[in-house]
Structure 1
Amino acid sequence: MKSYKDLDIYNLAFDYAIEVHKMSLLLPKFELYEMGSQVRRSSKSVKDNIVEGYGRRKYKQDFVKFLIYSHASLLECLSQLQMIQNIYVDVPVNDLIDKYDLLGGKIYSFISYVENNWKT
């Protein structure tokens, strides 16, 4: 692994953040700076915390801490997507919810891998 870009969880989080950004622009204008902003920020935080943790990978506990932050941001993003799903039924979020559910499992598994196998 030469870069955080080699991590599957980072690449998925990056792609999904772009999808969330595009989806959020479909929300009503008055939601662009409320719900839209919040879901965009939480989705970008998933990938950004993976990157920051990778940057601290020499220190296993720091790496794990930022992966946990990433997972927490993912849960926040999921919560926002579920709100959008219930309030704005015409905005397509079902696929994103499924993708983030799967990514959450991958991040959780990677946290376990780092905790049990990472050499510092």
Structure 2
Amino acid sequence: MGYRKLHVYNESYKLSLEIHRLTMKFPRHELYEIGSQLRRAAISIPLNIAEGYGRRNHKLDYRKFIINAQGSSNEVVVLLQMIKDLGYIPEEEYLSLSNSYTRLGKQLNKFIDILQQEIRSLRPQRNTK
């Protein structure tokens, strides 16, 4: 499938697996609270990329899904800070994952910009004279 060739998909998928494994080590009471929220946010990123790819011929829809993926990436960054502050992960692990998700967010932002340029190029130009 085509979305599997996208770097942002592969990176987000790999990171979502890391997040899943990480949250399985949380205290029992957090598995279904912050752990569940973190897993859902992380998995939402590759899911939105894959679903959006299915609508790639409809650029506005595609862009919307990538924007949702970027929002989920931001959510993961906040949740990572929260679990670090709660003492569930050490500073080094937080920094590594947070930096990875920050890079992913920047890549998604670039992807959104590219889609936006494609959308603009498809719109008929207005004559301003």
Bucket of the pairwise TM-score, normalised by the shorter protein: over 0.9
Q: How far apart are residue 117 of structure 1 and its match?
A: 3.2
Deviates further, 5-14 or 26-35: 26-35
Give the letter for the 1:20 counterpart: I
Stretches of structure 2 that go unaligned for 5 or more consecutive residues are 123-129
Whole-Å separation in 1 of the counterparts to 2:89 and 2:46 = 27
TM-score (norm 2): 0.86
Partner of 2:96: 95
Q: Which amino acid aligns with 1:115?
A: Q
Asked if 1:56 corresponds to 2:55, the answer is: yes
Number of paired residues? 119
Structure 2 CA distance for aligned equivalents of residues 74 and 62 of structure 1: 19
Bigger relative contact order, structure 1 or 2 (CA pairs below 8 A, ≥6 apart): 1
Instruction: Report the counterpart of residue 127 of structure 2 in structure 1.
Output: none
Runs of 4+ off more than 6 Å: none
Instruction: Confirm or deny: 8 A CA contact 2:26 2:88 kept in the other structure.
Output: no
Identity of aligned residues (%): 35
TM-score by length of structure 1 reads 0.92
5 Å-filtered alignment, 1:42-81, equals: 42-81=41-80
CA distance in 1, matches of 2:35, 2:89: 15
**For residues 101 and 24 of structure 2, what CA distance do their matches in structure 1 show?**
19
Deviates more, 1:22-31 or 1:59-68: 22-31
Do the aligned partners of residues 27 and 89 (structure 1) sit closer, same or farther apart at CA in structure 2, a change above 3 Å counting? closer
Q: Distance in 2 between matches of 1:77 and 1:85?
A: 12
1:64-108 C-alpha deviation (Å, 9 max, x unpaired): 000000001111111111100111154533211110000000000
| Aligned-partner SS, 1:93 | helix
Q: CA RMSD in A?
A: 1.6
Higher-Rg member (1/2): 2
Which residue of structure 2 lines up, in the alignment, with residue 29 of structure 1? Answer: 28
